[in-house]
Amino acid sequence: MSKKQKIHQFLRESGLFTSKGEILRVLEAGRVEIAGVVVKNPEYQFKLREEVFVDRKRVSGKEEHLYLLLHKPAGYVCHKLNAIQKQAGKKSIFSILPVSTSFEDLNRLTCVGRLDEDTTGLLIITSDGKLNHFITNPMHSVEKTYRVVLDKPLSSEARARIEEGLIIVLEEDGEVFKYKTKPAKITMGRDACSLEITISEGKKRVVRRSFEAVNNQVVDLCRVRIGKLVLDTEVPRVGDVKKVYKEYIMERVQ
């Protein structure tokens, strides 16, 4: 049986488009043809042996994926910038990638679990959607460890609440809701304000929100480990980028 793929995924992997929105507009405009038939539905599945044309030009899918490890600096966002963000002076981690990264490859790359603008540390960047899904899927419980500096000492009671799991307030897509965190592990550092926390979930700002829920503020946050990938071993210097293979990552996150 021939393998099938959704047209929006195929076009995303081609690297010809800068965003999903651009792909949807191209489809809606009737500029995509498969086997001589105009396709407008982004969920349309076709056999990979069939040829895809955009504006009557054949498009090739890209099967070879990129896998990068980055030591993210503070002050950078983990997405590509739009015109307004560029004008506002925002900086994207994608500007740190090697200048040899092609336009097509750059468009295909996404972050595996974003870090906040002010958060530093280990970041996986890839064009492989399946790997991204594996690492971020809560079912696989891939552990992430963060080095944390707080504004004041963490009490034993607060530590116990975070380790057991507690109710925090989150916001996703404009919706504010309460969420019960999964159990975590905290290892105290050299002083009462420094520690490492290990979690197995990837909710937006979950670490900061957890400490806020026990009346502590995070002053500095750095992701130092994903699975068995360790920041200081992989990319020790801020801004370092390291190219690896899928097998290298999978051996260390399963």
| pTM score above 0.85 | no
Tell me: do 214 and 245 sit in the same domain: no
Question: Do residues 159 and 148 lie in contact, with contact meaning Cβ atoms separated by under 8 Å?
Answer: no
Which residues are registered as beta bridge partners of 137? none
User: Which residue among 32, 59, 86 closes a domain?
Assistant: 59
Tell me: do 119 and 149 sit in the same domain: no
For 52-56, 73-77, 105-109, 165-169, which range has the lowest pLDDT when averaged over its residues? 105-109
pLDDT band at residue 45 using 50, 70 and 90 as cut-offs: very high
How large is the average pLDDT for residues 151-168? 96
pLDDT band at residue 62 using 50, 70 and 90 as cut-offs: low
Per-residue pLDDT of 90-132, as tens digits, reads: 999 999 998 777 777 788 899 998 999 999 999 999 988 889 9
Tell me: do 54 and 100 sit in the same domain: no
Tell me: do 73 and 182 sit in the same domain: no
Q: Please report which helix (H) or strand (E) contains residue 26, including its range.
A: helix 20-28
Tell me: do 215 and 160 sit in the same domain: yes
Query: Given this model, what pLDDT does residue 123 score?
Result: 97
* Residue 49 burial by Cβ neighbours in a 10 Å radius (0-12, 13-18, 19+): exposed
CA distances from 52 to 30, 40, 62, 109 (A): 13, 13, 13, 22
Terminal C-alpha separation, the chain: 30
pLDDT at 238 over 60: yes
Q: How far is CA 21 from the centre of its chain?
A: 18
pLDDT at 61 over 70: no
Average pLDDT taken over every residue of the chain: 91
pLDDT band at residue 232 using 50, 70 and 90 as cut-offs: very high
Tell me: do 186 and 133 sit in the same domain: no
Query: Given this model, what pLDDT does residue 63 score?
Result: 59
Tell me: do 237 and 129 sit in the same domain: yes
As a whole number of angstroms, the distance between CA 214 and CA 253 comes to 30
Could you count the other beta carbons within 10 Å of the beta carbon of residue 175? Answer: 7
Tell me: do 24 and 45 sit in the same domain: yes
Reduced to 3 states (helix: H, G, I; strand: E, B; else coil), residue 213 is coil
Gyration radius of the chain over CA positions: 21
Query: Given this model, what pLDDT does residue 5 score?
Result: 86
Tell me: do 162 and 107 sit in the same domain: no
Helix-, strand-, coil-residue percentages of the chain, each rounded to 5: 30, 30, 40
How large is the average pLDDT for residues 216-240? 97
How large is the average pLDDT for residues 20-44? 92
Tell me: do 133 and 238 sit in the same domain: yes
Structure tokens given for 205: 């700002």
Per residue in 29-41, is it b (16+ CB within 10 Å) or e — as a string? eebbbbeeeebee
Q: What is the CATH number of the domain that holds 83?
A: 3.30.70.580
As a whole number of angstroms, the distance between CA 62 and CA 202 comes to 28
Q: What is the CATH number of the domain that holds 221?
A: 3.30.70.1560
pLDDT at 1 over 60: no
Higher pLDDT, 101 or 181: 181
Query: Given this model, what pLDDT does residue 250 score?
Result: 93
Structural domain tally of the chain?
3
How large is the average pLDDT for residues 135-163? 95
Higher pLDDT, 93 or 66: 93
Tell me: do 236 and 133 sit in the same domain: yes
Tell me: do 236 and 189 sit in the same domain: no
Per-residue pLDDT of 194-224, as tens digits, reads: 999 999 998 889 999 999 999 999 999 999 9
| 3-state SS track over 94-162 | HHCCCCCCCHHHHHHCEECCCCCCCCEEEEEEECCHHHHHHHHCHHHCCCEEEEEEECCCCCHHHHHHH
Q: Which domain holds residue 236?
A: 67-137+232-253
Higher pLDDT, 154 or 254: 154
Question: Do residues 79 and 92 lie in contact, with contact meaning Cβ atoms separated by under 8 Å?
Answer: yes
